[in-house]
Amino acid sequence: MKTRTGMALLTGVLLGFQGEAAAQEATPPVAKVEPVELVQHGDTRTDPYYWMRERGHPDVIAYLEAENAYTEAMTADTRALQERLFEEIRGRTREDDSSVPYLHRGFYYSTRYREGDQYPVHVRKRGSLDAAEEVLLDVNELAEGHAYYSVSSQSVTNDGNLLAYAADTVGRRINTIRFKDLRTGETLPDVIEDVTSNLVWANDDRTLFYGRKDLQTLRSHQIWRHALGTPVSEDVLVYEERDTEFSTRVSKTKTDAFLLISSSQTLSTETRYLDANDPTGTFRPVLEREPDHEYEVEHFGEHFYLVTNDGAKNFRLVRFPVGSSGREHWEEVIGHRPDVYLQGIEVFRDHLVVRERFEGLSRLHVRRWDGSDAHDLVFDEPAYVASWSTNREIDSSLLRFRYESMQTPSTVYDYDMDSRERTLLKQDEVLGGFSPDDYVTERLTAAARDGARVPISLVYRKGTRIDGSSPLLLSGYGSYGSNREPGFSATRLSLLDRGFVYAIAHIRGSATLGREWYEAGKLFNKKNTFTDFVDVADFLVAEGYADPDRLFAQGGSAGGLLMGAVVNMRPELWRGVIAGVPFVDVITTMLDESIPLTTFEWDEWGDPREPDDYDYMLSYSPYDQVEAKEYPNLLITAGYHDSQVQYWEPAKWAAKLRALKTDDNLLLLRTQMQAGHSGVSGRYERYRETAFQYAFLLKLAGLGEPLTME
């Protein structure tokens, strides 16, 4: 075992558990260890499970595998239900489906699946949709021999001849870049290992810019330049981000005129630019970084366009001539609006499209460059998601966008920005007799304890009783300003068709109601995220949407932090909770600069090296707040190769809960030993994981077969 200093000093560890045979008899693993004394700002505590972070140690592997065996034993009675659910989910899926082709530089690109395949096939056609198909990448072939495989990104040169792609074979988001000559089908000898998925070609069609990360912290800190056909050892370091609170990435403007290197952390951005025709040139700052200034850059004509929060909490849009970034050169295009959150732009030859949030819902705003003919795309469902799709061609009057709701499958349209006509290109097909008219979507608001109004999106099948007798699954996230959108899920139908109501709580910490809504759920306001979720749950019970004895909750990653907090706050409220890859050991993680995410998230959670931050974070940290009391049924998932939430956080949390909880409810820890933060990679394996989780919920709800409803 290693010895570490800092928040947790490992002085000695003993491991003991009942073993596989006992686990098969449904005896939970027991971790017996010597307590580790922790001293921080005068607060003395113990962390008896710190040893679990010893990645690769045989005792750690054995313990996780014993937990997995125990989980399998305790869910053995649901295996038949799991199989039925898996077949239902698979049966709703058109297995030979394909995406809508998009046009770029004379080729139509798309992705398709073959029946029975786990992974996609990326293809294109030259000049016409009737042309012969050319296979770019068959991911099924690439994935052979790998328990996990994901093509993280891919990029084709402007001339259409070469493909660069990044692939992750572990799930830890550490990639290898390879190159393919699309004229011959040959895989080229250039191989670049241990990189990010971030890659982009310069306009000479032989120079690739790519990102590297610190392999310890996984912080993306360098941008390199590779000339095709030369040794990787001769690659040139173009930019290195030395501030450990920032990460960096490279991109290209839609016009293909400029390469951009952006560095960012929670509250600040800095972007550099370079003529994409001059790949060996020097990157120059668009704007130097400033505290509390966040911005994104796009290019059109003679100007850079800046989505900026300078003097605009909900962001505004300005432009200035390329090379003249001083604020005296700024010209406002769209001013700040306190009730509209400006999230991004898409540029076309004659039009500007703006992605916004208004009254909690996504919105697409279209206008000509002179500001005339301004209008919003209008949708008639109470809760929905509208976002642009792939729009690679700038010389077009067609906006391709995607629309879905909690009862309407994902639908792709082309929108003529001149005539305002929509053309339906594709709606995802849901097999098995599905009709959106069989379901009901509602948009509600609940009063939080401090008077804030929290939006709720929910869906249920027609005929489901809204009289306090139906099980309800409440989902939430509430961090980073990220939004849980009210989108469609074909897999979710297996719950709805058995009488579940499904709801999303758009709690503070998201940006559902704009930037202020986000800031009201971070740092010293973080507890609003948790109390909002509890208040939404109480509201749904009071209004008859949920059976108080069959109320369930689900959240993942930072949403798993939410789950950990609310089961500590109100354990009696929940019949069962699914916490996916949960960020629950807040203090220990945020004190450890050697692991991913820590350094550039102090502005999200707080910096526990500061006494006030430490005390506040400690007061809600799920792992630290576990007590000797009754807890609901819990299913906790982890990914052994998780790069975002290290596997030991859920493992430690489960062990501490197992030691202290006073009830006989289920406590299950399921660690995917061949996966990372996003779970397993094959589509059928993902279906099986969903079926497993749904079986957990349905067993506790006392439901099995789909209900017959009028």
Catalytic sites, residue numbers = 557, 642, 677
Specify the amino acid at residue 644.
Q
Q: Where are the alpha helices (DSSP H) in 25-102?
A: 58-74, 79-91
Neighbours of 24 (CB within 10 A): 14
417's enclosing H/E stretch is none
CA proximity to 446, closest of 550, 538, 571, 559: 538
Residue 345 Ramachandran class (φ > 0 left, ψ -120 to 50 alpha, else beta): beta
**672 neighbors 679 (Cβ within 8 angstroms):** yes
Beta bridge partner(s), residue 319: 305, 331
Name the CA radius of gyration of the chain, rounded: 26
**663 neighbors 633 (Cβ within 8 angstroms):** no
Residues 6 or more apart whose CB falls under 8 angstroms from that of 331 comprise 318, 319, 320
Q: CA separation (Å) from 43 to 150, 385, 546?
A: 44, 46, 41
What torsion, rounded to 10 degrees, do the Cα atoms 61, 63, 68, 70 define?
160
In 3-state terms the chain splits into helix, strand, coil percentages (rounded to 5) of 20, 35, 45
DSSP helix/strand/coil, 225: strand
Q: What is the DSSP letter of 708?
A: P
DSSP helix/strand/coil, 65: helix
How are strands ordered across the β-sheet holding 331-334? 295-300, 303-308, 316-321, 331-334
Report d(CA 52, CA 498) in Å as an integer: 39
Q: CA separation (Å) from 425 to 102, 127, 399, 407, 413?
A: 11, 19, 12, 19, 5
Q: What is the DSSP letter of 617?
A: H
**238 neighbors 248 (Cβ within 8 angstroms):** no
Neighbours of 190 (CB within 10 A): 17
Angle (deg, nearest 10), helices 527-542 and 558-569: 70
Q: What is the DSSP letter of 544?
A: T
Residues 6 or more apart whose CB falls under 8 angstroms from that of 520 comprise 452, 508, 509, 528
Q: Which two tokens stand for residue 133?
A: 């198909």
What torsion, rounded to 10 degrees, do the Cα atoms 535, 536, 538, 541 define?
170
Q: Which two tokens stand for residue 210?
A: 């790519």
Report d(CA 468, CA 446) in Å as an integer: 17
Burial of 520 (0-12, 13-18, 19+ CB in 10 A): buried
Q: How far is CA 504 from the centre of its chain?
A: 16
Neighbours of 576 (CB within 10 A): 22
DSSP helix/strand/coil, 166: strand
